[in-house]
Amino acid sequence: MSETIKQEDQAPVQLPVSIEQDIAVDSTPADTVHTDVKAGEAGQGSKKRSNRGQTCRERREFATNKRRARQQEDHERESTPREKSENSEPRKPKRRVALLLGFCGTEFQGMQVNPNARTIEGDLFTALCEAGAVSADNATNQQKVQLQRAARTDKGVHAAGQVVSLKMIVEDPDIVEKVNAQLPDQIRVWGFVRVVQSFNAKTMCDSRVYEYLLPTYVLMEPSESNLLLAQTVPFEERQIPETKAEDMKAKREYRVSAEKLQFVRDAFAKYKGTHDFRNFTVTRGCTETNSKRHMHWFNVSDPMIIDGSEWLSLKVKGQSFMLHQIRKMVGLVILMTRSGAPLELMDALFEKESRVNVPKAPSLGLLLESPVFDGYNSRADKQVQGLTNPVTFEPYQKTMDEFKQRFIYDAIIRTEMTESIFDGWVNSAEVFPEQYTYINKEGVIPESAIVVPGSGRRFPFKSAAGNQAAESSEDELDSKDN
C-alpha cells in the first residue's frame, strides 16, 4: 500500500494505439536545430539549419527514421556476437518484461535503491545478477537494464503486489526459481510477463491499490493524562509517556461504536474524486500545478478481531499518490475522530492555499496491494502478436494471499502487539498539541497553524522510553527523505 514525491507516482501514460505509432511520434521540438555539414565546409565548421521551415510530415519522418535507426542499432548490437576475451561470458538476448513480486518491508529502507542502505531494489537486482537474469556486463548498474518500479514505497512499507519493468535474460525456464533462491524469504518473485519494448512500469500504470491496517483503539477519546501533561509542563520539558501495561490492555479491548465507525467511513469517503492534496505531502517540489490527484474510492472494512485487538482494513485506489500522501490521509482522520472535528475541515484543507502540518500515520500499517495496468492490458493483445498475456497478479493470487498473511499481516500485528507503535504515535500528537491546532471541534484553521516553508522543524519530540526522537510529520524534515 505509499506512500515514501519525490513525487511518488506520476500520472499514468496510456500505451500508444500501435507500435508503429509509438515509433512515429514526433518528439522533436519545433525549435530543435539539426546539424547539416556540406561538402567543402568541413574546414570551416558545421553550418546549422533550423527545422522551423519543415512541415509536420517532414518532422515526423525525421523522427521516425531516427528512431528506427536507433532501434535497428540496438537490435544488431544485442543479436550480433561480440569479440570476447577468454573470461567474457557468452552474450544472451534480453527481453523486456514486467516482473511481478511482493515483499515485507520491515527490514528495508524503502523500495528505491539507495547507496549505503538496504533496499528492496538493491536485494532484487543482486539476486537477478546472481541468478543469471542480468549479465555480468550489466551487473554494475541497474539503469543498464532500464529497471523501473510501478510504485515507490517508503521505509517499512510492504507490498503484496509490485511490478518492476526491465530487460531481462529469460531463456532459462527455471529463472524465477533461481532468482527466488537468491532472495531472502521476505521478498518473493511471483513471475514475469513479456511486454512491448515501450513498456514502462511507472508511466503505464493506470492506478494503484493500497491497504492500511489500523487498530481501532487509536479512535478512542483523548487521554486526560496526556492533555494535563500538555497543559502543565513547559514545551521544552515534555516527554512522550510510555503507556502502562494495564492501560494498554484496556486499549486492546476497545471496540469502536457504530456511530464512530460511520464518521470514519464518511471522512475517508470525502477523499474520493479529484482534490488538491498539497497539504498531504512534503513541501519541497509541491505546487498547485502538480498536487492534484484523483482517488477512485476509499473503503473501510467491518471491524476484525485479531489476537484480541480490533482492527480496520482501509483500502484506497488512486490514479497516483504523492510522498506520504496515504499516511497523512489516514493520520488526519484519526485525529479528527479523536478530537470531534467536523468533516468540513477536510474541505478547507483541500482549498487552503497556505500549508498546514497534516499528521502522518505510522508506516507500519501500510502496504501496496497491487498496481493496475488495465489500459495496457486492453491494448496489448490487439497490438503485438505473441505478447497477449496481461500484466496481472491473478495467476498468483493464492500464493500472494499466503505470503501476505505470513509475512505482512502477521508482521504488522506482531510488531504492534510488542512495540505499541500506534499508541506511541497517538501519545506524541496529544503531548504536543501545538503542531495540530487546526484539528479542533470548530474546524477553524488559525494563523498559528500555517507552516512557513524553510522554517525547519519546530517540534523536537522526545519519548520517555530510551529518549528517542518520536516520529512527526513536520514537512520540512520529510522533504529530505529519499
Q: What is the distance of C-alpha 333 from the center of its chain?
A: 20
Catalytic residues: 154
Alpha-carbon gap, residue 251 to 247, rounded angstroms? 6
Alpha-carbon gap, residue 368 to 9, rounded angstroms? 13
- Name the residue among 231, 152, 178, 166 with its Cα closest to residue 431: 231
Alpha-carbon gap, residue 31 to 227, rounded angstroms? 63
Residue 455, judged by CB atoms within 10 A of its CB (0-12, 13-18, 19+), counts as: exposed
Alpha-carbon gap, residue 96 to 345, rounded angstroms? 47
At how many degrees (to 10) do helices 224-232 and 421-431 cross? 40
Which pairs count as long-range contacts for 404-408, CB under 8 Å and 24+ apart, including other chains? Answer: 404/102, 404/160, 404/367, 407/103, 407/104, 407/158, 407/185, 407/186, 408/104, 408/158, 408/160, 408/367
Range list of β-strands (E), 112-271: 148-149, 158-168, 187-194, 207-215
Under DSSP, is residue 239 helix (H, G, I), strand (E, B) or coil? coil
CB atoms within 10 A of CB 255: 11
Q: Is 75 in contact with 197 (CB distance < 8 Å)? A: no
Residues 6+ apart with CB under 8 A from 118: 107, 108, 109
Half-sphere exposure (CA, 13 Å, Cβ side) for 1? 26
